[in-house]
């Protein structure tokens, strides 16, 4: 199923507050250098936290990207992750920019919440695709028919005339591109010719950047004609004349300027400067807020909700935050099809909503156990010295999704839906301060809670075992660990280590990943003494990976057991991440 096509001006990871769905007629100019205004309530100045990832067009992370939010800045790490805390933004408008040499400037606008705001930006390469020469007409085209005709008049940033060759960087974004939201600048919040706030339906965007022979930035001193192909699926509904909008990089939203005319299967228009240009239909707006919960009225995060206005070609998609909430601008006075999707893109439930003439909060969307599998993934992130990570994050990779959880004194958790056809995922933990990693570890979802135990972010440590009994300190077993499989079964053992005087021994009768009880796997050593078939227990073993020799054996275990000495019931959680020896 195609993802985001017409962007919901989305409140990503937003609390469902009625106040955040209110608008007034105040006019606000976000940046001093911007000459545009918009009749939209941006709210008061507040302090908010952000975490996000910057990726390229192949969805690979980009390191050392400069990210700016207000006056706050940060650089991305090896995973393309940035963390900015206490950024000064507007309560209903945060403008995030991302820059790095070799890429076009990327940006995103969101309505920030009081919690953690998650941002994803896909930077486009600043690759020169053609050249023209000042003083003569010329054009540059893309294989899909996108075309720019130049009149030969160019100027430098200081306004002086430029003479010489001109390198042209050109990108076209088709509305059918499933990554259009991550690639495009800002959102689709716009200011029309009267300064009124609008939400747009895009029929295509282009970005053009001009460089002189010395690499200097150039602009048009005359005009240029642009031609954008019309998406086949939108052809029947595309108007004969459509407004043109340019993206104001200072303000962070689109501004109406001129029109384009439908000629065959293209829109053709004239522009006097270059940045991002957009062919869009415009609609009056209302705010729509909703919350996704389970039957216990507990919020469900990371649920995809599609909103498809019945007179538009492509849906817009929102993702529920940790409070289960989605809120944003939608076209007013239109009936909308609402689809709730699982993480594999399957429709869980569908309904018709609207039309809405005023800001609206929908009744909660309740997803039952018969409709979806929900799980919470929880654990603790530790440093090399076994203390909790205080500034770090964990990446959860599931299918084609990457979720990010910031840590609070080492603790992390994810809340998500699990597809019936895929229950495996990986985690990577990162100590942001000390630049240490846990590496990629394989896991299997269990419902309703997937207990991870403790991850060690210590690049020097290649294998480890950790376990915790009740609320006692975590035991970290790092040393010479033996692990493998022979005719007697699977075994993992450690005799002595650097943190405790006890040993650890796990054995079992299978090497096939799966979820097992003590009828298959048993534990011995440490403070728990023995947990096995002869012990009253509920311990479950989540065996997730059995690699080749030299690769990893991964397993987590959790549950309760009865102490054989005192008949006292204890809880235990543990992680086994060890290299297979045989």
Q: 425 in a domain, yes or no?
A: yes
Model confidence over 37-95: pLDDT tens digits? 898 888 899 999 898 999 999 999 999 899 999 999 998 988 899 989 999 999 889 99
Residue 443 has pLDDT above 60, yes or no: yes
Number of domains the chain contains? 2
Q: How far is CA 142 from the centre of its chain?
A: 29
Q: Is the dihedral of CA 28, 30, 32, 37 positive or negative?
A: negative
- Separation CA 72–CA 263 (nearest Å): 45
User: 188 vs 247, which has greater pLDDT?
Assistant: 247
Complete edge-to-edge strand list for the sheet that includes strand 392-398: 401-406, 392-398, 424-431, 436-444
pLDDT band at 35 (very low <50, low <70, confident <90, very high): low
State the pLDDT at residue 2. Answer: 36
Q: 499 in a domain, yes or no?
A: yes
Residue 501 has pLDDT above 50, yes or no: no
Q: 230 in a domain, yes or no?
A: yes
Question: How does the average pLDDT of the chain come out, rounded?
Answer: 86
Shared domain check, 253 and 381: no
pLDDT band at 221 (very low <50, low <70, confident <90, very high): very high
Block residue for tokens 């006692």? 472
State the pLDDT at residue 496. Answer: 55
Question: Where among 237, 266, 283 does a domain terminate?
Answer: 283
Bridge partner residues of 283 (DSSP): 199
pLDDT band at 246 (very low <50, low <70, confident <90, very high): very high
Residue 512: helix, strand or coil by DSSP?
A: coil
CB-based contact 396:402 (threshold 8 Å) = yes
CATH of residue 148:
2.60.220
Residue 118 has pLDDT above 90, yes or no: no
State the pLDDT at residue 289. Answer: 87
Shared domain check, 532 and 404: yes
pLDDT band at 301 (very low <50, low <70, confident <90, very high): confident
Shared domain check, 393 and 275: no
Q: Degrees (nearest 5) of the Cα angle 203, 123, 190?
A: 40
Q: 393 in a domain, yes or no?
A: yes
Shared domain check, 509 and 380: yes
Q: 360 in a domain, yes or no?
A: no
Of the candidates 86, 104, 84, which has an alpha carbon nearest to the alpha carbon of residue 96? 84
State the pLDDT at residue 136. Answer: 95
Residue 18 has pLDDT above 70, yes or no: no
CB-based contact 310:354 (threshold 8 Å) = no
Residue 137 host element (H or E): none
Least confident of 122-136, 169-183, 490-504, 553-567: 490-504
- Separation CA 162–CA 153 (nearest Å): 8
Question: Where among 240, 257, 283 does a domain terminate?
Answer: 283
pLDDT band at 1 (very low <50, low <70, confident <90, very high): very low
Domain housing 517: 373-579
* Backbone dihedral region for residue 496 (phi beyond 0: left; psi -120 to 50: alpha; all else: beta): left
Residue burial 325-349, b: 16+ Cβ < 10 Å; e: rest: bbbbbbbbebebebbbbbbbeeebe
CB-based contact 224:246 (threshold 8 Å) = no
- Separation CA 63–CA 98 (nearest Å): 11
Q: 64 in a domain, yes or no?
A: no
Residue 3 has pLDDT above 50, yes or no: no
């Amino acid at each position: 199923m195609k993802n985001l096509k017409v962007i919901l001006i989305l409140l990503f990871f937003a609390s469902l507050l009625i106040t955040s769905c209110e608008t007034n007629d105040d006019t606000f100019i976000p940046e001093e250098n911007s000459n545009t205004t918009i009749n939209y309530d941006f709210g008061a100045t507040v302090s908010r936290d952000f975490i996000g990832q910057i990726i390229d067009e192949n969805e690979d992370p980009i390191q050392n990207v400069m990210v700016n939010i207000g006056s706050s800045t940060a650089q991305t790490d090896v995973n393309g992750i940035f963390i900015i805390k206490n950024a000064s933004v507007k309560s209903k408008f945060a403008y995030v920019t991302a820059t790095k040499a070799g890429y076009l400037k990327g940006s995103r606008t969101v309505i920030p919440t009081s919690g953690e705001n998650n941002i994803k930006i896909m930077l486009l390469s600043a690759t020169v695709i053609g050249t023209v020469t000042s003083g003569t007409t010329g054009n540059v085209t893309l294989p899909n028919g996108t075309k720019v005709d130049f009149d030969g008049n160019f100027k430098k940033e200081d306004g002086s005339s430029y003479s010489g060759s001109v390198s042209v960087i050109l990108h076209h974004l088709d509305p059918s591109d499933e990554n259009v939201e991550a690639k495009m600048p800002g959102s689709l919040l716009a200011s029309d010719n009267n300064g009124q706030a609008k939400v747009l339906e895009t029929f295509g965007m282009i970005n053009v950047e001009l460089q002189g022979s010395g690499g200097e930035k150039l602009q048009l001193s005359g005009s240029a004609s642009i031609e954008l192909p019309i998406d086949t699926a939108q052809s029947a509904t595309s108007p004969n004349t459509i407004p043109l909008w340019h993206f104001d990089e200072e303000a962070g939203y689109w501004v109406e300027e001129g029109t384009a005319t439908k000629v065959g299967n293209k829109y053709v228009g004239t522009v006097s400067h270059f940045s991002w240009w957009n062919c869009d239909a415009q609609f009056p707006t209302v705010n729509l807020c909703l919350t996704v919960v389970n039957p216990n009225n507990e919020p469900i995060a990371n649920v995809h909700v599609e909103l498809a206005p019945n007179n538009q070609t492509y849906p817009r998609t929102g993702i529920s935050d940790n409070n289960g909430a989605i809120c944003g601008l939608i076209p007013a006075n239109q009936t909308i099809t609402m689809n709730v999707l699982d993480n594999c893109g399957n429709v869980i439930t569908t309904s018709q909503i609207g039309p809405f003439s005023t800001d609206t909060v929908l009744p909660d969307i309740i997803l039952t156990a018969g409709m979806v599998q929900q799980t919470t993934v929880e654990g603790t992130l530790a440093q090399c010295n076994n203390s909790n990570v205080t500034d770090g994050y964990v990446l959860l990779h599931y299918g084609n999704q990457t979720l990010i959880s910031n840590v609070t004194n080492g603790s992390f958790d994810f809340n998500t839906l699990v597809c019936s056809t895929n229950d495996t995922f990986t985690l990577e933990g990162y100590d942001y301060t000390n630049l240490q990693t846990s590496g990629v570890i394989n896991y299997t979802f269990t419902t309703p809670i997937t207990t991870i135990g403790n991850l060690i972010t210590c690049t020097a440590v290649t294998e480890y075992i950790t376990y915790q009994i009740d609320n006692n300190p975590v035991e970290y077993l790092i040393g010479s660990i033996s692990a493998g499989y022979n005719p007697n079964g699977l075994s993992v053992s450690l005799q002595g280590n650097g943190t405790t005087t006890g040993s650890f021994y796990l054995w079992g009768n299978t090497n096939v990943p799966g979820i097992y009880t003590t009828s298959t796997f048993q534990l011995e050593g440490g403070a728990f003494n023995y947990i096995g078939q002869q012990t009253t227990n509920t311990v479950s073993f989540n065996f997730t990976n059995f690699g080749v020799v030299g690769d990893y054996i991964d397993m987590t275990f959790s549950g309760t057991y009865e102490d054989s000495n005192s008949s006292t019931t204890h809880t235990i959680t543990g992680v086994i991440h060890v290299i297979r020896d045989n």
